[in-house]
Amino acid sequence: MDYLFDKLEHKKSLLNRQNSHTHIRTCVNLGWKKLDDYYNLSDDTSAYRAAVLLHPEHKLEWFQNH
């Protein structure tokens, strides 16, 4: 999800510099909002927490930081 957030943020910044493409800007904003809804839901699941704990890069450090 972080990868998608980064891509949407980059696209939002590109579109905000331009005055055209309002339809695409709206689509990007709605996509960001929907992804944010799912992101917030994933924090509440025990499966997500177990996956983060078992991930070799994150482990307990992620929980200590968040």
Mean per-residue pLDDT over the chain, rounded = 81
- pLDDT tens-place string over residues 25-46: 888 889 999 988 888 887 677 8
Dihedral Cα 7, 21, 35, 33, nearest 10 deg: 130
3-state secondary structure 15-42: HHHCCCCHHHHHHHHHHHHHHHHHHHHH
What does the pLDDT read at residue 16? 78
- Higher-pLDDT residue of 48 and 13 is 13
